[in-house]
Structure 1
Amino acid sequence: MLLVGNGTLITRNADAPFYADGAVAIDGRTIAAVGALDDLRAAYPQAEFIDAKGGVIMPAFINMHEHIYSAMARGMSVKGYNPHGFLDILDGMWWTLDRNLDHESTWLSAMVTYIDCIKNGVTTIFDHHASFGKIRGSLFRIEDAAKQAGIRSCLCYEISDRDGQDKCDAAIQENVDFINHARADDSDMIAGMMGMHASFTLSDRTLETCASVLPPDTGYHIHVAEGIEDLYDCLEQHGKRIIDRLMDFDMLGRQTMCAHCIYINDHEMEVLKHTDTMVVHNPESNMGNACGCPPTMELYHKGILTGLGTDGYTHDMTESYKVANILHKHHLHNAQAAWSEVPDMLFHNNAVMANRYFKQELGVLRAGAAADVIVLDYNPITPMDETNCNGHILFGMTGRSVTTTIAAGKVLMRDRVLTGLDEEKILSDSRQCAQKLWNRINSGR
């Protein structure tokens, strides 16, 4: 048994949201009790004590839209790459990268991403993978890394017609195989979805095939209207908007997650709400790719379940929090925008969304919930309580404030030292693999 204490405790439990000197008792994978430190010390005198050293104790972060495969693009220069729009970015950078990934580079991309997740206090991710250089078995390689790292992961493979029918069919089969495999895993640490790229790279034949082979009680993870080109293509090729096209193939619903949703209209929002489809906002990526600002505040206020992700741009959820906060203020010319909506997306909605795929309650510190706990090195310069703790996180903390990360009761990092991974070897191997990958890309082989 573990006892994490001697710090300010933010629980995200409305019944007992805040303890000035709190503690969390962990029994196996589950939180046994939450309360005042003295009370829990008396109740669990034999527990191993993890000292928060006056910092902040809170639930670990959840990232609802990741791209593990993007890891080795950090610092990469592609010969001749000079994009003049979003499609050039996709083809010149990301599709070039994923066409050259093999199992080794996929596995190492996963390992270094998971290391960054641990260091930033993220213990649950929903990843959208692409490695058209090696499709079959790729999700299983990521699963291997996830289990070694101890990060709860919902995985899918990016189905697309962009590289031909054979690879498209292989991608569909990889999703089906992994979904069925994950369902047989009783750890509650692995799940699968049917991953799809975007409407403009998916034919009707492919959508029909996906719908016909989708295992029951499973949804789709798809990019929707991330660029205006996706919308134009759907209107020109199919005579309808993207959400309507997905609706026609019965692909919406409470198990489906639509990333981005920048260029959608009021009608499409009503369809998303009616079908209880999830939406994920990725502010930094949208800004970095000059794609535009999605109507996230409108989505939120219409009651559409909207969460927060990073799109692989970062693995620090506090970065996404900070950027989303200012993006919507700037876009709407409203300094009052996003104060409450974005933290609700991050701290509440992400957990609700994740629990559509994982059984044990996430995102909260209370008895019976998953033992996903982080400690942050933060000593407030102004008073902090349940009414203003989000402001302290927004302006006073970063992901690298995390000193200790616990996932499903397992200590993954303690006092900034990873406990179960050989970080130096993994990073060294990753650098060597990345150099070979870059050479392969720029040599055309």
Structure 2
Amino acid sequence: MLVIGNGRLITRDREGTFFEDGCVAIEGQKIRKVGTTKDIRKEFPSAEFIDAKGGVIMPGFINMHNHIYSTFARGLNINGYHPKNFMDILEGQWWRIDRTLNLQDSYHSAKIAYLDSIKNGVTTVFDHHASYGAIEGSLTQLSNAADELGVRTCLCYEVSDRDGAEKMKTAVKENTDFIRISKDRSDDMQKAMMGMHAAFTLSDTSLEYCAAHTPDGVGYHIHIAEDIADVYDSLAKYGKPIVNRLYDLGILGKQTMAGHCIHIGPHEMELLRDSNTMVVTNPESNMGNAVGCPPAMRMLNEYGLLMGLGTDGYTNDVTESYKVGNIIHKHHLADPNAAWAEIPEMLFNNNPKMANRYFENKLGVLEPEAAADVIILDYKGPTPMTKDNYNSHILFGMNGGAVTDTIINGEIRMRNREVQGVDEAKIWHDAQAQAQSLWTRINQA
């Protein structure tokens, strides 16, 4: 048994329970009990004890939309790359990267992404992968990396027509193969979706092919209206908005997650709501790509969509998305009251709800029988922390770098900022060598 105490404990339960000197007891892969440090240590005197040293104890973060394959883009200089718009960014950078990626690139980039997630207190990652240079077996590379690091993850491969019909079908098979593999697991650590790139790179025939090969109970992970070009493409080719088109083809639904949804209208919001489709927004990436600000406040407050928060490969620190999400909507709407409640609702309440449409063990909360995904942050704070203001302390005072300890599925994955059970220096060394190889291949192509 493991006991974590002597810290301010944010449980995220329905009552918003907060302990000034809190403690959580872990037995196996689940939370056994929460309470005061005095009471829990008295009840479990022989348990291994982790001292939070007055820091903050809380559930691990969940990243609902990431792109692990973007890991090696950091610092990359592509010859002749000078984008003027989002399509230039896709064609000039991301599609050149993914067409060059081999299986070793995918594996080592995943090792780094999951390692960095642990260091930033992210215990669950939903990833959207692409490696058109090596499709078959690529999700297994990510899966192996996740197993080695011990991170909970849900994987998919983005199906697209952009490299031809045969690769589209190979991508579908990569999804279906991994869906089968994930269903054979019994540890609730890895799940799978049917990945799709975006409506503008998928014909109706390809979407129908995806649907025909997607097992019951599995949904789709797809970008929707990230850029206005996606909207124009759907109207020009199919005479209907993107969401309508996907609705007509049976792509929407409770298990489906729509990324971005920046350029959608009220009727499309209604279709997403009525089909119970999940939406995930990615504020840093949207600003970085200059694609616009989604109508997230309307989707949440007016239409009641289940909407979460992701990083879209921009970072593995979801507190960055929290901070930027808080200000992008204030700036966009010229409303200082915007996003105070909505962004933490996405990150702390909706992300767990969305993740639990795939994972069985209850995530994002510290209460009996929930998954034992717990983090400690080194944070004291210049003002009192209470049940009513701890989100403000997280927003303005904490970041991923404050995380000292990460426990996933009851296993200590980081202790005192040292990642356990792996040779961290070797992971970084191997990644840098692999990245250099990738960069050379990209610029020689």
TM-score range, shorter chain: over 0.9
Match of 1:102 in 2: 102
Structure 2 counterparts to residues 179-258 of structure 1, below 5 A: 179-258=179-258
- Between the aligned partners of 1:391 and 1:422, the Cα distance in structure 2 is 36
Match of 2:407 in 1: 406
Q: Normalising by structure 1, report the TM-score.
A: 0.99
Match of 1:284 in 2: 284
**Alpha-carbon shift at residue 17 of structure 1 (Å):** 1.2
Specify the SS of the correspondent of 1:233: helix
After superposition, give the CA deviation of every residue in 1:24-55 in whole Å (9 maximum; x if it has no partner).
00001000000000000011011000010110
- Between the aligned partners of 2:348 and 2:305, the Cα distance in structure 1 is 16
Asked if the contact 2:376/2:404 (under 8 Å) is kept, the reply is yes
2:193 is equivalent to residue 157 of structure 1:
no
Q: Which runs of 5+ in 1 are unaligned?
A: none
Match of 1:381 in 2: 382
Which residue identity lines up with residue 329 of structure 2 in the other structure?
Answer: H
After superposition, give the CA deviation of every residue in 1:142-197 in whole Å (9 maximum; x if it has no partner).
00000111111000001000001111110000001111110111110000000000
After superposition, give the CA deviation of every residue in 1:48-96 in whole Å (9 maximum; x if it has no partner).
0001011000000000000000000000000000101000000100000
2:264 is equivalent to residue 264 of structure 1:
yes
**Alpha-carbon shift at residue 307 of structure 1 (Å):** 0.1
After superposition, give the CA deviation of every residue in 1:177-236 in whole Å (9 maximum; x if it has no partner).
111110111110000000000010001110110111111101000000000000000000
Asked if the contact 1:180/1:215 (under 8 Å) is kept, the reply is no
2:367 is equivalent to residue 366 of structure 1:
yes
Specify the SS of the correspondent of 2:89: helix
Which residue identity lines up with residue 349 of structure 1 in the other structure?
Answer: N
Specify the SS of the correspondent of 1:173: helix
- Between the aligned partners of 1:65 and 1:264, the Cα distance in structure 2 is 19
Which residue identity lines up with residue 173 of structure 1 in the other structure?
Answer: K
Which residue identity lines up with residue 174 of structure 1 in the other structure?
Answer: E
- Between the aligned partners of 1:125 and 1:254, the Cα distance in structure 2 is 19
After superposition, give the CA deviation of every residue in 1:314-348 in whole Å (9 maximum; x if it has no partner).
11111000000000000011000000010010000
2:435 is equivalent to residue 427 of structure 1:
no
- Between the aligned partners of 2:41 and 2:61, the Cα distance in structure 1 is 26
Match of 1:316 in 2: 317
- Seen in structure 2, the aligned counterparts of structure 1 residues 32 and 169 have a Cα distance that, compared at 3 Å, is same
Match of 1:328 in 2: 329
Q: Which runs of 5+ in 2 are unaligned?
A: none
Asked if the contact 2:55/2:376 (under 8 Å) is kept, the reply is yes
- Supply the RMSD in Å over aligned alpha carbons: 0.6
Asked if the contact 2:99/2:131 (under 8 Å) is kept, the reply is yes
- Between the aligned partners of 2:231 and 2:411, the Cα distance in structure 1 is 44
Match of 1:353 in 2: 354
Specify the SS of the correspondent of 1:315: coil
2:300 is equivalent to residue 300 of structure 1:
yes
- Between the aligned partners of 1:57 and 1:420, the Cα distance in structure 2 is 22
Which residue identity lines up with residue 279 of structure 2 in the other structure?
Answer: V
**Alpha-carbon shift at residue 16 of structure 1 (Å):** 5.6
Specify the SS of the correspondent of 1:157: coil
- Between the aligned partners of 2:370 and 2:381, the Cα distance in structure 1 is 27
Runs of 4+ residues over 4 Å off in structure 1: none
Match of 2:127 in 1: 127
- Between the aligned partners of 2:383 and 2:20, the Cα distance in structure 1 is 14
Structure 2 counterparts to residues 391-402 of structure 1, below 5 A: 391-402=392-403
Structure 2 counterparts to residues 23-34 of structure 1, below 5 A: 23-34=23-34
**Alpha-carbon shift at residue 380 of structure 1 (Å):** 1.4
Which residue identity lines up with residue 222 of structure 1 in the other structure?
Answer: I
2:344 is equivalent to residue 343 of structure 1:
yes
- Between the aligned partners of 1:321 and 1:100, the Cα distance in structure 2 is 32
